Chain A
Amino acid sequence: QKEVEQNSGPLSVPEGAIASLNCTYSDRGSQSFFWYRQYSGKSPELIMFIYSNGDKEDGRFTAQLNKASQYVSLLIRDSQPSDSATYLCAVMRGTNAGKSTFGDGTTLTVKP
């Protein structure tokens, strides 16, 4: 079992729809959770981070964390073609801060 697993893609949604990206992790000691976006041929860039259970909203993006179930999700509302990218879930372990584990990524395509 991988330490960080993301729902297999690719994911395709029509413009204006909600895109839902999911991630589960195995280390219960994990304390910090991140979503990065990576356009083809580019570097990852941070979209959201979340530390506490519940929802965190930033514009069209909402991150959701449930530590009991060990999952974190990213919702993208009103999806735009410019959101088409690979989304990477990353987890930072609480007992060894600095060590990061990434999921394999989910490729999202938003069709006009």
Chain B
Amino acid sequence: EAQVTQNPRYLITVTGKKLTVTCSQNMNHEYMSWYRQDPGLGLRQIYYSMNVEVTDKGDVPEGYKVSRKEKRNFPLILESPSPNQTSLYFCASSSGTGGKTQYFGPGTRLLVL
């Protein structure tokens, strides 16, 4: 089954404790992206990747890191989480740029205390 998976689905952590949210897709897609969704602010892009070892900032990259060492994986790293990073996070992938369908993962709900 073609899918984007994220782990963990739910996470409660404390300020400053490094965490990683994993994202994996099994569709051999070149393009992957991370978004956060907050009430009243919609979906905002954090980082995206056009292919292995190619990443770029979205609209809200501060406080986040990403890496793309393999085509299928695109982890999101919060090295020192803060309460304002409490949010719902979505990973997405697509077969190319310029408008191909983005498939979203199930989401990761993060609470930073």
Give A residues with C-beta under 8 Å from B. 31-32, 34, 43-46, 49, 51, 88, 90, 92, 96-105
Contacts and interface: CB of A to CB of B under 8 A. Distances in A.
Contacts of A92: 97-99
A76 B58 CA distance: 31
Interface in B15-73: 31, 33, 35, 40-45, 48, 50, 56, 58-59
A103 B58 contact: no
B77 to A, nearest CB: 20
B106 A43 contact: yes
B88 to A, nearest CB: 10
Contacts of A103: 42
Contacts of A101: 45, 59
B104 interface: yes
Contact of B42 (A32, A99, A102): A102
A100 B45 contact: yes
Interface residues of B, number: 24
User: What secondary structure prevails in chain A residues at the interface with B?
Assistant: strand
B41 A51 contact: no
A97 B98 contact: yes
B101 A49 contact: yes
9 contacts: A43-B106, A44-B104, A49-B101, A90-B43, A98-B33, A99-B48, A100-B48, A102-B45, A104-B40
A90 B101 CA distance: 12
B90 A100 contact: no
A101 B56 CA distance: 14
B13 interface: no
Contact of B98 (A31, A44, A88, A102): A31
A98 B48 contact: yes
A105 B56 contact: no
Nearest to B4: A43
B17 to A, nearest CB: 27
Nearest to A34: B99
